[in-house]
Chain A
Amino acid sequence: MSSENVLTVENLVMHFGGIKALNDVNFAIKRGSVSALIGPNGAGKTTVFNCLTGFYKATGGNILLSAGGKDTSVIKVLGEPFQATDFFSPVAFVRRLKYKMFGGSHLVNRAGLSRTFQNIRLFKEMSVVENLLVAQHMRVNRSLMAGILNTKSYQKAEEEALERVFYWLGVVDLVDSANRLAGELSYGQQRRLEIARAMRTNPEIVCLDEPAAGLNPSETEALTKMIRVLRDEHNTTVLLIEHDMGMVMDISDYIVVLDHGEVIAKGGPDDIKNNPKVIAAYLGAEEDDEEVSL
């Protein structure tokens, strides 16, 4: 199972107090695919994303990420509450304590899953290059002494990091803006930079939260091409939330449709297009939703 699916979500439940944002969500993402998570506004798409990437601690269920040759349980690395049995088994206790103290969403990223945000979250007062250098934090020479003494190995690591930065700036067509502040860039450039930054952590699966929001049609087309490059040249699985149905149907191999915190349909683009449940959710069988973009 783990070799074929990079991400498996089983019985995912997320409650905020009395609000049941997600009820029993199940899906699996195949390695090397471009998958989309769609649904009307408020269906719980971003909540699923936040659970996958470890920003929310899911109330129940299981999220299994098999990347980098090992399986990671996303919920476990966030730090679970102590159980009675832990007090008899020191190993389990220490492991749980470790995750409780030092665990968090950064471990999900290190396990090979990275994400972008619906409202762009760049380091606005840092230059474009620095934004991408920060993303390589885990891959450079972080030794304090080496950095302060500016040793050969440190310089080499920094040099390599810069080379990778400029490679990715080339991919997202931002080489000319390399030395501008990230906050000064135009909206479309910021979107592209954020994707490059997410890719710089070398993920096996990248989750894009509405990458085409606010882009004009030609920019959307460029983005579509870029996502294909990510998948084909960098062996990255892409999972995206998107409202632009044209784009979703164009690039997705697999689509999961959410409504009211439940998966109402999953399958290839053609299945989804003709699925009566999906049409009902979007066009509104009994309730009226504004989202009419099919």
Chain B
Amino acid sequence: MSQAAGVNFKKSTIDALIAGFLALILFGPIVGVLLDGYQFNFETDRVAWMVAIVAIGRFAISSFFQTEKGIAMSFRYANSNDGATVLAPGHKSKMVWIIPLVIVIGLLIPFIASKYVLTVVILGLIYVLLGLGLNIVVGLAGLLDLGFVGFYAIGAYGLALGYENLGLGFWSMLPIAAILAAVAGAILGFPVLRMHGDYLAIVTLGFGEIIRLVLTNWASFTHGPNGISAPLPTLFGLEFKRRSRDGETFHEFFNLPYDSAYKYMFIYLVLFAVVWAVLFIKHRLVKMPIGRAWEALREDEIACRSLGLNHVLVKLSAFMLGASTGGLAGVFFATYQGFINPSSFTFFESALILAIVVLGGMGSTLGVVIAAFFLTVLPEMLREFAEYRVLMFGILMVVMMIWKPRGIVRVTRTGFAPKQGAVK
């Protein structure tokens, strides 16, 4: 820190030369040699540009990290491996400004974006819900759940089967599916709560597979691998179809030309509202006694029991709340796809949701939201590399584990202002 005042330009120049030389080796053959039929041409100017950019960039970075600001920054990141940080009491989060901005942008998206972009964003939001649900179970309560997709499937099939057998639409199934998934979470949870870590992971993995196999093989009820269609949401009884069997449709009522994008807009807006509601509830939960109990359970179960916390109920509540969020996501998935079959609910989905939670940072809400979008939107943008998706996924995980083992966003804890103590 003592030599922070001056920048050693000699060192920066050497760094820049080394980086430039490496860039030359790397880009020389790749960019510089251009095949033209059976012969090849050397394109030196392109290589020169690239090497120059790399060298200048390296010079800038090297100089920056010798300034006081740079040293402070690298120091901060070097220490980023330790866990949570406690915020100062009365800390004002920058989120106060970001959240309204995101809400405004989010509300504008359906009217600006194309139908394709909208569907991608809907998928992203569905995974945000899933990530938030699993984050309660894995991130907060520390229960490794590899069968989370089971609850997702229960939500999705709840909507489709509820419509087919009982005539229940989207709006009535939305809460019912959440409750159904929560009940399934309790049924799964109760017998396995005495297990820890790896054993719990295996049992939950089995649970996810059981759900999928039941959906595949109970053909008389679920239509098996043929799948089943799911209803669209309605706006006060107005349907989003081209023409309706009973009553008016949305575009007829508002005298608009029919556009299939309307239904996605509507789903998006409902989903957007639900995601914010879940985010809010999640935000409150971590500050509430139940959230503290979950985290305490993750830290040390035996200590929890010694403090009078009923570990069975604490774990069950985490399982149920997480599962109900998964169920909500399932309802949206079904209505957005319009058709579901068991192949949407494979183990790969569970792994993806778990990856969202791990990448985002266990227990961090913001991290999960970012990671959910990252992992769902990125594969859409990289359609050309679709075959290498899982490979890139794996590489990403390895890189993350080396670079930021605690996830993208570090968990922060609320600080409490000291006050006068009192016994009551």
- Which A residues fall within an 8 A CB radius of B? 53-55, 101-102, 104-107, 109-110, 114-115, 117, 121-127, 129-130, 133-135, 137-138, 140-142, 144, 147-148, 150, 160, 162-170, 175, 178-181, 183, 197-198, 200-201
Contact = CB atoms under 8 A, between A and B. Distances in A.
Contact of A167 (B281, B306, B423): B423
A140 B36 CA distance: 77
Contacts of A135: 307
6 shortest interchain CB distances as A-B pairs: A167-B421, A109-B308, A147-B288, A166-B421, A123-B299, A121-B303
Given A102-B312, A142-B289, A147-B290, 15 more contacts: A102-B310, A106-B311, A109-B306, A121-B302, A123-B295, A125-B84, A126-B84, A127-B413, A163-B420, A163-B422, A165-B416, A165-B421, A167-B422, A175-B418, A180-B86
Contacts of A141: 289
B302 A164 contact: no
Contacts of A121: 300, 302-303, 306
A2 B218 CA distance: 60
B154 to A, nearest CB: 22
Given A137-B293, A167-B422, A179-B88, A122 B300 contact: yes
B415 A127 contact: yes
Contacts of B73: none
Given A123-B303, A125-B299, A144-B290, A137 B309 contact: yes
A106 B310 contact: yes
A106 B311 CA distance: 8
B179 to A, nearest CB: 14
Interface in B366-380: none
Nearest to B411: A125
Interface in B275-319: 280-281, 284-285, 287-290, 292-293, 295-296, 299-300, 302-313
A148 B308 contact: no
28 contacts: A104-B305, A104-B311, A106-B310, A114-B306, A115-B306, A117-B306, A121-B300, A123-B295, A126-B84, A127-B86, A127-B415, A135-B307, A137-B289, A137-B309, A142-B288, A142-B289, A142-B290, A144-B288, A144-B290, A147-B284, A147-B290, A163-B424, A164-B423, A165-B421, A166-B419, A169-B421, A178-B418, A183-B83
Interface-central residue, A54, A110, A134, A167, by most chain B CB under 10 Å? A134
Contacts of B303: 117, 121-123
B100 interface: no
Interface-central residue, A102, A114, A125, A166, by most chain B CB under 10 Å? A125
Given A127-B415, A134-B304, A134-B309, A147 B421 contact: no
Interface in B98-119: none
A133 B312 CA distance: 20
B77 to A, nearest CB: 19
B89 interface: yes
A253 B292 CA distance: 38
Contacts of B419: 162-163, 166
Contact of B296 (A123, A129, A138): A123
Contacts of B307: 106, 109, 114, 134-135, 137, 197-198, 200-201
Contacts, number: 150
A105 B305 contact: yes
B89 A179 contact: yes
A133 B292 contact: yes
Given A130-B292, A137-B292, A179 B415 contact: yes
B301 to A, nearest CB: 9
Contacts of B424: 160, 163-164
A104 B302 CA distance: 11
A148 B421 CA distance: 26
Contacts of B302: 55, 117, 121
Contacts of B422: 160, 163-164, 167
Contact of B285 (A147, A164, A166): A147
A132 to B, nearest CB: 10
A123 B55 CA distance: 48
A150 B312 contact: no
A197 B415 CA distance: 18
Nearest to B306: A115
A104 B88 CA distance: 38
A123 B293 CA distance: 10
A124 B416 CA distance: 17
A179 B417 CA distance: 8
Given A148-B281, A164-B421, A126 B413 contact: yes
A170 B422 CA distance: 10
A109 B83 contact: no
B25 to A, nearest CB: 45
Contacts of A167: 421-423
Contacts of A138: 308
A53 B421 contact: no
